[in-house]
A and B are shown apart, each in its own frame.
Chain A
Amino acid sequence: MQEFTDAFGAAFALLASGDPELAEIVGLSLRVTLTAVAISCLVGMPLGALLAIARFPGRGAAAALLNALMGLPPVVVGLATYLLLSRSGPLGALGLLYTPAAMIIAQTILTLPLVAALTRQTIADLHAEHDETLRALGAGRWATALTLLHDGRFALTTAALAGFGRAAAEVGAVMIVGGNIAHATRVMTTAIALETARGELALALGLGMILLGISAAVNLAAMALRARAERAAHV
């Protein structure tokens, strides 16, 4: 239990000292994760909406596959991304391995199925509710998808935040494709893994508490934005 008390102390000491390395690591974590989640939302939400609306053979299988992809272990995604981006891999010429771009790619692969699957569920429910009205208006597939995405935008915040949670918490993928290089690709989770390996358990746990605080701040900000938008929508 001493570790927990020490961890609080370590977390406070780090925050109080305004440690520039911590700021750098937190900044990169946010940059990588928020970019990955933004791309996932941009691609995954329309994809999930279309999957909810379109009728085609194998639609059930596609939905099941999407749900299964939500369970992909980060380390598998990291390994696959490594093999793609390795100098001897198909995309090696881009020279992206061990850069933040590689970490963004891996986390996008990790979060896109989650965002798409949660969107599909939300939009499928809305679609069941509004299908007839939309058809009466003569809306095509894309128009229906966009209308429902707009209608469900507050509920979809949850999908985006779930994606953020998965990306912010994972260590397996960014460790492999980023390499945990100091001042280049070290993020919160890989720093925690490093301090654990050094036996600096209190410091590692303290970093974990700071990460939790950042996640809480992002969630609170998203909820506040959503509440404001909801009020504006009802005026």
Chain B
Amino acid sequence: MNARTPTLRAALLGALAAMAAALPGAAAAAEQDEIIVQSTTSTANSGFFDQVLPQFEARTGIKVKVVAVGTGQALRNAANCDGDVVLVHAPRAEADFVAKGLGVRRHPLMSNDFVIVGPAADPAGIAGMRDAAAAMARIAAAGAPFASRGDDSGTHKAERRLWRAAGLDPDPATDRWLRELGAGMGATLNAAAGMGAYALTDRATWLAFANKADLRIMVEGDPRLLNHYGVILVNPARCPNVNAKAGQAFIDWLLSAEGRAAIAGARVHGAQLFRPAEPQEKTR
């Protein structure tokens, strides 16, 4: 008995010390004024937040923690009260979110555009087209591989709008050229690069993406490719845990002249990532 006691006690003490070391982190985090923003991979992976958030944090002392998922998941997480602010890009789903009382109000924040990218060989012959729907129709007609997000994200919603605009309703079960990946934008672009497929991507992710391989921008400039971002405070009346004061301060700052300048100033490889919305723009 005596021989083993020190070993067990040492193990016990070690484990307790490890747990004690782990706990203060959680406790300290709760004291600082901070908010959780449920957002999308396009804003996080492009380095947008890395450039904008320090300016807000320096101004207000409020720490912003970004969870980057697809728009669909961001809205679902926020519906579970897991977040204070939503910053996503699917105006219709956002309006629905507010209509259900889950969010307070949608503020148009900024925009950029989607582009259709594809392999340099361009098997569907769409390079340089202006009409995005016609380009999508041509990809379908050629049966050229198309890498789809397939994850109910804002980009996936935009892709489905384009198929509908082309008068198509492709089904990945029978249309084998349509490859639904169920993955984020970056993973989808990696896959598209690997299998020589076309893909729809937001320009911010594309600009920052380092593994382009032989993918090129094929179609851009169609007004239907505009990509609108909105920002919403999660409804504190429904979710008492929401840090409404700090969340609203973040939204107010983003919409202020200083915030708009910060948004316009975010760049990757010298290119502007997003265009701030006009201050008087009507809520969509």
Contacts and interface: CB of A to CB of B under 8 A. Distances in A.
B186 A42 contact: no
Contacts of A229: 7
A23 B199 CA distance: 36
A22 B241 CA distance: 32
Contact of A88 (B65, B66, B81): B81
A87 B23 contact: no
B208 A198 contact: yes
B45 interface: yes
B80 interface: yes
Interface stretch (A57-65, A98-106, A113-121, A212-220): A98-106
Interface in A170-202: 179-182, 184, 194, 196-201
A98 B82 contact: yes
B26 A96 contact: yes
A134 interface: no
B81 A92 contact: yes
B32 to A, nearest CB: 11
Contacts of A86: 77, 80-82
Interface string A218-231: 00000000000100
Given A38-B14, A39-B19, A99 B26 contact: yes
Contacts of A97: 82
A197 B185 contact: yes
Interface in A20-34: 31-32, 34
Contacts of B81: 86-88, 92
B65 A35 contact: no
B80 A41 contact: no
Interface in B196-254: 208-212, 239, 241
Contacts, number: 107
Given A86-B81, A88-B81, A146-B4, A198 B18 contact: no
B45 A95 contact: no
A153 interface: yes
A135 interface: no
Interface string A11-53: 0000000000000000000011011001101100000000000
Contact of B210 (A92, A181, A198): A198
Given A42-B12, A180-B67, A100 B187 contact: no
A76 B231 CA distance: 30
B26 A181 contact: no
Contacts of B21: 31, 35
A196 B190 contact: yes
B187 A196 contact: yes
A150 interface: yes
A155 to B, nearest CB: 14
A196 B184 CA distance: 11
How many interface residues does chain B have, given as a range?
A: 35 or more
Nearest to A45: B11
Contacts of A101: 22-23, 25-26
A179 B19 contact: no
A199 B186 contact: yes
Contact of B65 (A41, A104, A184, A194): A184
A99 B29 CA distance: 8
B15 A38 contact: yes
A38 B4 contact: no
Interface string B1-35: 00110011001101100110111011001100000
Contacts of B25: 31, 99-101
Contacts of A184: 29, 65
Highest count of chain A CB atoms <10 Å: which of B22, B23, B212 = B22
25 contacts: A31-B18, A34-B18, A38-B19, A39-B19, A42-B15, A87-B80, A87-B82, A87-B241, A95-B241, A96-B26, A98-B65, A99-B29, A100-B26, A101-B26, A147-B4, A180-B68, A181-B66, A182-B50, A184-B65, A196-B190, A197-B187, A199-B190, A199-B211, A199-B212, A201-B190
Given A38-B15, A87-B239, A181-B66, 5 more contacts: A42-B15, A100-B25, A150-B7, A181-B67, A197-B41
Interface of A: 31-32, 34-35, 38-39, 41-42, 86-89, 92, 95-101, 104, 146-147, 150, 153, 179-182, 184, 194, 196-201, 229
The 4 A-B residue pairs with the shortest CB-CB distance, nearest first, are A197-B186, A199-B211, A87-B81, A179-B67
